[in-house]
Chains A and B, each alone.
Chain A
Amino acid sequence: MKRADRAFTILLGLAFASSAILIALLLTLAPRVEQLLSRGAEDTADVVAGLVILLAVCGISLGLAALFRQLVATAVLIRGLVARKVVLPSSVDVAARGLDLAGRIDVVDDERPFSFCYWFLRPRICLSTALVARLDTEELRAVLHHERYHLRQRDPLRQVVARYFAAGLYVVPVVDELLSFHMLQKEIEADQEAVRASGEVHSLASALYKLLPDADDVSLGLLVPVSSLSVTEARIDQLIAGRPLSFALSPVSVALSGGALVAATVLVAVQGGASVAFAALPPLYAVPALLVCPASLLIAAAVDGGLHQLRPVAQRLFARG
């Protein structure tokens, strides 16, 4: 199993396990909603229940919003592109020969050079006329090899699913980190596939180079501050060195995610403070240890996860600005 697939499997496993724990917690606390709405919070257990329900509502909303946003954005993008579809240029026909992509490539009229794989169950490849005009046959073939990898792996579908879980499970920030690694590793593996299929690295490197924005006198590195390697930089490193990308989850995310899941399990076990076992303990020990501490862990993880979610939005706003 390749690293991207492994990351995706771990992501799904973690997502399902986390969802099960958090849904159990929500179901435990759901009966209290009516009481909270009518009478308000009467004790610490009510406050904790109210906060956890609020976090759950945020998670459900974020997940659904991510799903909705992706589907709408994809539909709008495809609608716009379909309107600009042109007849397949002969150069694309030649480049795609023998790649088993008949009827799966669209070329759209656009002055910006781009290519991508889109749609879910039966993905397609989209190339812009600017990209076709800019690349020679071998470079075009390398790009098609890259996209064919995404197409065969149904990567757009994986992306929707992974982004949905990463957004909805914002209290488990590890899921978001796994998503980032999965997406980066996918690009690297698509490049590796293109290099392997082409038998050389030059065509792909040349295609990538020709698509970089011009930067003769202006250092884009200074204009666009990046704290770590961008996807393209990591891909370039991989093309040059061929070493596997080092990956380690952030200890803070691991601690917060683990803390949040343990906290949720504790809250389920004590039924948010309503269980007999909880009532049997002296409140001086039970309330801080079994209610306040777990709730604090959940909130800390939620804040960290929320910031993770906001980062791409801020980046896009920055890109628009």
Chain B
Amino acid sequence: MSRPDLRRLRRPEKAEEKFLGPLETEVMARLWKRRSATVRDIVEDLARTRELAYTTVMTIMVRLHEKGLLERTREGKTYVYRPAHTRDEHRARLSRDLARGLVAEFGDAALAAFSAELDTVDATHRAALRRLAQKDSRETR
């Protein structure tokens, strides 16, 4: 029996870009990597691939702080930013919001949906479904 192909079960990772915008995504990616950084650190980090004004990056980081994605503490005259959640936590929140958004949007409409109430699956059921989905032998029940 061949091993299950886990790549087939991996979900897309682009969801966060839909909600953050490309620049915000880049800033968050760098902060998740560095764990903490000042605006200057990020400007210099980004400068390797693109030239961005200090004020542009500062505006983005302030906005991310206002959205609750970054926490900041003052150290001397500058702010040091840290991600409020890990990347995986953030992704989980996003996809949960997507699922809840669907329930809220489709709630009153008369339709029979394959994907309904998907945000109400506990860890046990999630794991059981994952095991069932990983069975690459196409068994007949």
Enumerate chain A interface residues (CB-CB to B < 8 A): 69-74, 76-77, 111-118, 120, 126, 131, 133-134, 136, 143, 146-147, 150, 155-157, 159-160, 163, 186-187, 190, 195, 199-203, 205-221, 223-224, 226, 230-233, 236-237, 239-240, 242, 312, 316, 319-320
Contacts and interface: CB of A to CB of B under 8 A. Distances in A.
A217 B89 contact: yes
Interface stretch (B28-36, B75-83, B94-102): B94-102
Interface residues of B, number: 55
Main secondary structure, interface of B, reads helix
Interface of B: 8-9, 11-12, 15, 18, 86, 88-89, 91-96, 98-123, 125-126, 128-130, 132-133, 135-141
Main secondary structure, interface of A, reads helix
8 contacts: A74-B109, A74-B110, A114-B114, A114-B115, A190-B112, A218-B96, A219-B123, A221-B122
Nearest to A194: B114
B118 to A, nearest CB: 5
A230 B122 CA distance: 9
B129 A115 contact: no
Which one of A69, A206, A320 has the greatest number of beta carbons of chain B within 10 Å?
A206
A260 to B, nearest CB: 26
Contacts of B105: 77
Contact of B92 (A214, A237, A319, A320): A214
B95 A214 contact: yes
A236 B122 CA distance: 11
A163 B114 contact: no
A73 B141 contact: no
